[in-house]
Amino acid sequence: MPYKNFGNEVLTSSDVNNYLMRQAVIRVANGTELDAIPTPVAGMMATRADNGITYRHNGSSWVRMMFNTGAMIQAGTVSTSNIPAGTSAWTDVATVTFATPFSSAPTVVLTNYQSFAGADPVMLAMTSISTTSFGIQAKCASSKSAQLVHWIATARTQ
């Protein structure tokens, strides 16, 4: 893969196409855009927005990234429905379906992209984690608009 250390010089379109694009993780919308990347080289990486999976080019094709253990990882962002007021009842606000099923229920971690500090935080919980999907519940003292929730799911290796 071409490599260049950039110094005090003008960044040309040729440098962007020949060096910078090949030294960054590229974000594409879907598989069609991934396959349309001109002249990919071995080691190039791209993340698809439609499934949140990062791929690495092996010199001839795009291959899904895996941990050295062979464990699969998937990640994404989901927008919840509006969260009604109420401090004691959990409300179903989103369901995430994995782009590729896991062989057993994965470990899932959630992060609320929009945080509310103080006495009125949005609390999140997962429900019904399976090989194909999981649910998200939320509760808050006052009603909130839809929240962006980042998630990452990792295959269990033990």
Cβ-based neighbour number of residue 112 at 10 Å: 17
pTM listed for this prediction: 0.52
Over 70: is that where the pLDDT of 158 sits?
no
Among 2.60.40.2080, 3.40.470.10, 3.30.750.24, 3.30.230.80, what is the CATH number of 73-154? 2.60.40.2080
At 45-103, the pLDDT tens digits run 888 888 778 888 889 999 887 654 455 788 888 888 888 877 678 888 889 998 888 88
Cβ-based neighbour number of residue 146 at 10 Å: 14
Cβ atoms of 96 and 148 within 8 Å: the answer is: no
Q: What is the per-residue pLDDT for 130? A: 93
Radius of gyration of the chain (CA): 20
Name the phi and psi angles at 59, rounded to 5: 105, -20
Q: Exposure string (b/e) for 67-92, b if CB count within 10 Å is 16 or more?
A: eeeeebbbbbebebeebeeeeeeeee
What's the whole-number mean pLDDT along residues 30-54? 86
d(CA 45, CA 63): 9
- Residue 89 CA to its chain's centroid (Å): 29
Over 90: is that where the pLDDT of 32 sits?
yes
Structure tokens at 151: 């998630």
Ordered by start, the domain boundaries in the chain are: 13-64, 73-154
User: Quick one: three-class SS letters along 94-108?
Assistant: EEEECCCCCCCCCEE
- For the ranges 29-38, 48-57, 141-150, the one whose mean pLDDT is highest: 29-38
At 105-144, the pLDDT tens digits run 998 988 876 655 556 778 888 888 999 999 998 888 777 7
Q: What is the per-residue pLDDT for 66? A: 62
Q: What is the per-residue pLDDT for 112? A: 77
